[in-house]
Chains A and B, each alone.
Chain A
Amino acid sequence: MELTDADLIARVLVDDDHHAFAELVRRHQSSVRGLLRQLTRADLALADDLAQETFLRAYKNIRSFRGEARFSTWLYRIAYNCFREDARRRKEVVGLNQEQLQMEHDPQTVDPGLRHDLAHALKALPLHERAAIVLCCQNGLSHDEAARVLDIPLGTVKTNVLRGREKLKKMLAAWAPG
């Protein structure tokens, strides 16, 4: 029988079981790294560094995990905080990147595949909309869970998802049928 996340967390808490924590990392590494790849606009090295930092923080603070939310939601919140702290450190302008947006609208750089275009379109979204879309539409979080991860009001998450989707649709209009 496969152990649940709660069982593994209990083992980490009680016995400081590294094997149990390794299993938690194995289970959640894909979604956490995927989220960070989207947030960092596919900077794979940076995303993996931040993902490592996320799991290290999770290990150090696992006693503060209250079990009210899913473990994955808690991890996403740590990952998002890691990303924001890193962005602040780098003094990166988090938001709409004009250069990338311009590239999106340059017909010569438009890729043939819808998926490829979608990846570019996602990168062009402002951070708050991109994060909301990635969490809700790609990772399957509810609006409420995403609001907890992003530490913003529920209504703002809904607005960001809605606006993000509208922008994506516009950017992908070339793929509309008929």
Chain B
Amino acid sequence: MNGMIDDQTLDRQLREAMPYIDDDGFTARVMARLPAVRPRPQWLRAMVLLGLTILGSAMAWMLAGPFVRHGMVQLANFPIWLLVVLAFGCGLILGALAVVAMVHKTPEARDFTRLRF
């Protein structure tokens, strides 16, 4: 009875020493301590949907008429430098919105100490 226990036996014993632990009400105790779910106001969702519907309808009504044709003619008459500035401005605004969304969605971006370079 001397020497050492072999690796295989040790590994097997270690794995078997970690049996499945029955829940036995543990999950229920955890769930009871969670903060209550805040009910989401259903009227808010309804109002947003209604607003979007009205906006979409208004846009469709405007675009369906001579608005598009007139707009295109006016746009064609713009000097080229103005079109370039317009396009650049739109790009900047979209880029800024994307950065704001990224910072909002990514916790790491809000806390620079957590960024890994």
| Residues of A that sit less than 8 Å from B by CB | 16, 18, 21-22, 25-26, 29-31, 33-34, 37-38, 48, 51-52, 55-56, 59, 63-64, 66, 114-115, 118-119, 122, 133-134, 137-139, 165, 168-170, 172-178
Other-chain residue from B10, B17, B23, B29 in contact with A52 (beta carbon distance below 8 A): B29
Interface residues of B in 10-41 (CB under 8 A from A): 10-11, 13-23, 26-27, 29-31, 33-34, 37-38
On chain B, which size bracket covers the interface? 20 to 34
**Dominant SS among interface residues on chain A:** helix
Complex CA gap A153/B107 in Å reads 25
A175:B21 contact, CB within 8 angstroms: no
Ordered by A's residue number, 14 sampled pairs between the chains whose C-beta atoms are within 8 Å are A18-B31, A22-B30, A29-B27, A33-B26, A34-B19, A38-B18, A64-B107, A66-B108, A114-B13, A134-B18, A139-B18, A169-B5, A176-B3, A177-B3
Q: In the bound complex, do residue B26 and residue A29 qualify as a contact, i.e. CB atoms below 8 Å apart?
A: yes
Given A18-B37, A64-B107, A137-B11, decide whether A48 and B26 contact each other with a Cβ distance below 8 A. yes
B27 lies within 8 A of A172 (CB): no
Nearest residue, chain B, Cβ from A170: B4
Q: Write the chain A residue with the least CB distance to B111.
A: A64
Cα distance A133–B1 when bound, in Å? 25
B113 located at the interface, meaning its Cβ lies under 8 Å from any Cβ of chain A in the complex: no
The listed residue (B17, B20, B26) touching A119 by CB distance below 8 A is B17
Report whether A26 and B23 are in contact in the complex, using a CB–CB cutoff of 8 Å: yes
Q: Which 8 interchain pairs have the tightest Cβ spacing?
A: A138-B18, A30-B21, A176-B3, A169-B4, A137-B14, A25-B27, A55-B30, A172-B5
At the interface, yes or no: B77 with Cβ under 8 Å from chain A?
Answer: no
- A52 to B107 alpha-carbon distance, docked (Å): 24
Asked if A172 contacts B16 (CB within 8 A), the reply is no
Q: Tell me how far the C-beta of B12 lies from the nearest C-beta in chain A, rounded to whole angstroms.
A: 10
In the complex, whether B2 has a CB less than 8 A from a CB of chain A is: yes
Chain A CB within 10 Å, residue with most, of B2, B11, B27, B108: B27
Do residues B3 and A173 form an inter-chain contact, with CB atoms below 8 A?
A: yes
- Set B3, B16, B29, B33: member contacting A115, Cβ < 8 A: B16
A173 to B4, CA, bound (A): 5
Distance in angstroms from A50 CB to nearest chain B CB is 12
> Distance in Å from the Cβ of B25 to the closest Cβ of chain A?
10
Decide: B29 and A34 in contact? CB cutoff 8 A: no
Complex CA gap A176/B10 in Å reads 10
Q: Which of B6, B27, B33 contacts A56 (CB 8 A)?
A: B33
Determine the chain A residues whose CB is within 8 A of the CB of B33 once the complex forms. 52, 56
Cβ contact within 8 Å between A21 and B23: no
Interface centre among B4, B5, B7, B27 (most CB of A within 10 A): B5
